[in-house]
Amino acid sequence: MNRMTAARSPLSPAERPRLGLRERKKIKTREAIRTATYALIREQGYDATTVEQIAERAEVSPSTVFRYFPTKEDIVLTDEYDALIVEELRARPAGEPWMESMRHVMHKALEANAGEDPEVVRLRTQLTVQVPAVRSRMFESMSETGRLLRGALAEHYGLDPDALEVRVYAMSLIGGLMEVSMYWAENDFGGDLHDLMDRALTVMDRGLPRENR
């Protein structure tokens, strides 16, 4: 729960164990499970990979796998961007037009994304396109993101986060953004994600390119 206790005290001279042995092991285990999973999926595909196999390769028991990840799908999906998004959004100047803020924030998120192993990012994205269970889980987490987003949005504009309009607006944004990643994967990860994102945001801001409406 709180690792602060350990981090606070002197310790600076050696400063080696900023985290206790226990905590470090937990992180290692978590990563071992993840990498084992990615490797196995690359070798055999998602469905053919059982949790037992994952456990074996990660050198833990199946029980432990489920202790670290509630479901098999959760092993492949990271999703630590939500916090980042909200944080960055809050950091934007108050008067700034919403879509401008969104643009900045999404680019920040993409930069964070670029920090990860590209192979893994691609595999993960591909799985969200190909494997229904993974895609489902992703939708699920996107709808949580939607909730956060509408909170930020309401704050930004001083609106009620539970108002229909705010909710619809936020969720509609999420839907559009999700499609960007699908598009990217389905088109063999071609094109710059930053460009795609920009185009998507433009559409959602101003509607379809030209003509009618």
Q: Which does residue 4 touch among DNA, a second copy, none (CB within 5 to 8 A, set by kind)?
A: none
- CA pair distance 140, 134, nearest whole angstrom: 10
Judged by DSSP in three states, 170 sits in helix
Q: Which does residue 22 touch among a second copy, DNA, none (CB within 5 to 8 A, set by kind)?
A: DNA
CB of 64 to DNA, least distance (A): 3
CB of 79 to DNA, least distance (A): 16
- CA pair distance 17, 6, nearest whole angstrom: 8
Q: Which does residue 10 touch among a second copy, DNA, none (CB within 5 to 8 A, set by kind)?
A: none
- CA pair distance 120, 114, nearest whole angstrom: 11
Nearer to a second copy, 36 or 174 (CB): 174
Q: Which does residue 31 touch among DNA, a second copy, none (CB within 5 to 8 A, set by kind)?
A: none
CB of 30 to DNA, least distance (A): 9
Tokens representing residue 172 in the block: 């509609």
CB of 184 to DNA, least distance (A): 26
Closest residue by Cα to residue 153 from 164, 169, 129, 140? 169
Cβ 11 vs Cβ 17: under 8 Å = yes
Which residues are near a second copy by CB under 8 A? 95, 97-99, 132, 135-137, 139-140, 143, 146, 157, 159, 164-176, 178-180, 182-183, 196, 199-200, 203-205, 207-209, 211-213
Which residues are near DNA by CB under 7 A? 5, 17, 20-23, 25-26, 29, 49-52, 59-64, 66-68, 70-73
- CA pair distance 51, 213, nearest whole angstrom: 50
Cβ 93 vs Cβ 157: under 8 Å = no
- CA pair distance 213, 198, nearest whole angstrom: 21
Nearer to DNA, 17 or 207 (CB): 17
